[in-house]
Amino acid sequence: MRIVVDANVPAAQTCFGGLGEVVRLPGREIDAAALQEADALVVRSITRVDAALLAKARRLRFVGTCTIGTDHVDERALAERDIAFASAPGCNAEAVVDYVLGSLLTLAERQAWRLAERRVGIVGVGNVGGRLLARLMAMGIDCLACDPPRVEAESVEAQASVEQRLAGFVELDALIDACDVICLHTPLVSEGRYPTWPLLDAQHIAALAPGSVLLNAGRGDCLDGQALRQRLAGQGDISAVLDVWQHEPAIDHGLADLAAIATPHVAGYSLDGKLRGTQRIYRALAQHVGLPAPLTLADLAPAPAVSCLVLDAGLDREEALRLAMRAVYDPRRDHDSLHREARRQGMAKGFDACRAGYPLRREFATLDIELGEGARELAPLLAGAGFRVDTATA
């Protein structure tokens, strides 16, 4: 079996090598010619899998994407050719939540406000948004949520249970009116009752209160980038954190310059998240061809470079959070990298270079925090944020 795999899929040889011959190619170089003799294709989000790509794939019987999102895959085209499909929903959701928390705490530090005093509105309460909502509420942050499809899908009894456990569900306009921070975590949907293309249009962006933070780590086309650029360049009274963009990789350079934090679609790029995606598609392909899949995530993940942090008295609550988060991941690194590579190579090439050469990054859950006598009150906050708190010392 010949398996074509995006070169950015980690542990590809370890996982797929036991199932067949592995051919690794950069995601943007996977074309119809590359699939002529392929039996299986494993991609990430930058490869568009459609009828044009499949035109010469006479042997292809399986496609897997090691990502949460599937809008880059034409599932109808696969079904018409009797090609099995698998994705990895939720695989990098924890990493995206890490990115959101790290970015918000970075802005709070720069702009001299406290996250604990803000109300966060989450638009889209799926794999990512649901985890973000749960973590923020465990940290004691006031939250609202907007997810009309979920509200419609739930029964009255189940929805009441969700609201009691998490937060109140409101309409988008009400959420914008009531919240200081707006986080977008919706899929890209262009049809049906609840399209998200675009979800935040010029009218919604104009309605954001001065001092608001708008964060998009969902899909770039869910946000009217031109309207946001005009608001930032004109009034300049809101802040934007953008990880996803319209027209990737040739994104709007001007909008990137105006964003408080601008990163190249890497919010979910933790090693742990990527390995979960690889392992899930490996299992799906093995099941498809009737072979065993003995490798687990524990077999693939190395020990973290920083595994333990000891804290004691003297730290403010949000200072302690920032210290713990930056021991694992600092989004300022990705912001600086995008701007540096854009200057060196141009935006499109620089954007892709940042993703292709992305440095090792782990998730908050890989860090153990030991709390001394004077810091034990921080245990609920740090555990809520996603760290492993040593309860024996806390």
Cβ contacts of 252 within 8 Å, gap of 6 or more: 225, 226, 229, 245, 246
Confidence of residue 158 (pLDDT cuts 50, 70, 90): low
| Listed residues 87, 105, 137: the one ending a domain | 87
Confidence of residue 391 (pLDDT cuts 50, 70, 90): low
Do both 15 and 127 map to the same domain? no
Is position 165 within any domain? yes
Active site residue: 131, 185, 265, 335, which one? 265
Return d(Cα 153, Cα 59) in angstroms, integer: 39
Is position 81 within any domain? yes
Domain count within the chain: 3
Do both 115 and 30 map to the same domain? no
Residue 344 corresponds to which tokens in the numbers above? 């060196």
Poorest-pLDDT segment among 14-28, 49-63, 151-165, 302-316: 151-165
Do both 102 and 73 map to the same domain? no
Confidence of residue 324 (pLDDT cuts 50, 70, 90): very high
Is position 272 within any domain? no
pLDDT at residue 163, rounded to an integer: 44
Do both 249 and 111 map to the same domain? yes
User: Which residues sit in the known binding site for NAD(+)?
Assistant: 147, 186, 243, 268
Tokens 């708190």 correspond to: 389
User: Which tens digits make up the pLDDT trace of 170-229?
Assistant: 999 999 999 999 999 998 888 888 889 889 999 999 999 999 999 999 999 999 999 999
Poorest-pLDDT segment among 186-190, 214-218, 325-329, 363-367: 186-190
Enclosing H/E stretch for 161: helix 156-165
Are 66 and 43 in contact, with CB atoms under 8 Å apart?
A: yes
Torsions phi, psi of 213, nearest 5?
Answer: -115, 130
pLDDT at residue 252, rounded to an integer: 98
Is position 290 within any domain? no
Do both 223 and 250 map to the same domain? yes
Do both 145 and 240 map to the same domain? yes
Active site residue: 219, 280, 283, 335, which one? 219
Do both 328 and 250 map to the same domain? no
219 catalytic per annotation:
yes
pLDDT at residue 190, rounded to an integer: 85
User: Which tens digits make up the pLDDT trace of 95-154?
Assistant: 999 999 999 999 999 999 999 999 999 999 999 999 999 999 999 999 999 999 888 877
User: Of 20, 22, 81, 71, nearest to 44 (Cα)?
Assistant: 71
CATH number, domain at 384?
3.30.1370.170
Checking phi first, is residue 9 left (phi over 0); if not, alpha (psi -120 to 50) or beta?
A: beta
Do both 147 and 61 map to the same domain? no
Do both 15 and 44 map to the same domain? yes
- CB-count exposure of residue 8 (10 Å: 0-12, 13-18, 19+): buried
Cβ atoms < 10 Å from Cβ of 51: 13
Cβ contacts of 127 within 8 Å, gap of 6 or more: 68, 89, 90, 93
Do both 184 and 332 map to the same domain? no
Residue 393 confidence (pLDDT) above 60? no
Structural domain that includes position 204: 93-262
* pLDDT, the chain, mean: 94
Q: For residues 253-258, give the mean pLDDT.
A: 98
User: Of 366, 354, 302, nearest to 328 (Cα)?
Assistant: 366
Angle between helices 93-111 and 127-138 (to 10 degrees): 50
| Listed residues 262, 289, 319: the one ending a domain | 262
29 catalytic per annotation:
no
Is position 302 within any domain? no
Residue 71 corresponds to which tokens in the numbers above? 């809008």
Are 98 and 135 in contact, with CB atoms under 8 Å apart?
A: no
Are 221 and 198 in contact, with CB atoms under 8 Å apart?
A: yes
Do both 331 and 367 map to the same domain? yes
Is position 143 within any domain? yes
| Listed residues 34, 61, 87: the one ending a domain | 87
Return d(Cα 110, Cα 14) in angstroms, integer: 43
Is position 230 within any domain? yes
User: Which residues sit in the known binding site?
Assistant: 45, 67, 147, 186, 243, 268-269
Cβ atoms < 10 Å from Cβ of 111: 11
Give me the percent of the chain exceeding a pLDDT of 70: 96
pLDDT at residue 69, rounded to an integer: 85
Active site residue: 248, 276, 283, 362, which one? 248
| Burial profile 300-309: b = 16 or more Cβ within 10 angstroms, e = fewer | bbeebeeeeb
CATH number, domain at 77?
3.40.50.720
User: Which residues sit in the known binding site for substrate?
Assistant: 45, 67, 269
Cβ atoms < 10 Å from Cβ of 151: 16
Do both 83 and 121 map to the same domain? no
265 catalytic per annotation:
yes
pTM: 0.90
Is position 345 within any domain? yes
User: Of 371, 372, 366, nearest to 387 (Cα)?
Assistant: 366
Residue 341 confidence (pLDDT) above 70? yes
Cβ contacts of 336 within 8 Å, gap of 6 or more: none
Q: For residues 82-106, give the mean pLDDT.
A: 97
Residue 312 three-state SS:
coil
Q: For residues 29-38, give the mean pLDDT.
A: 97
- CB-count exposure of residue 253 (10 Å: 0-12, 13-18, 19+): middle
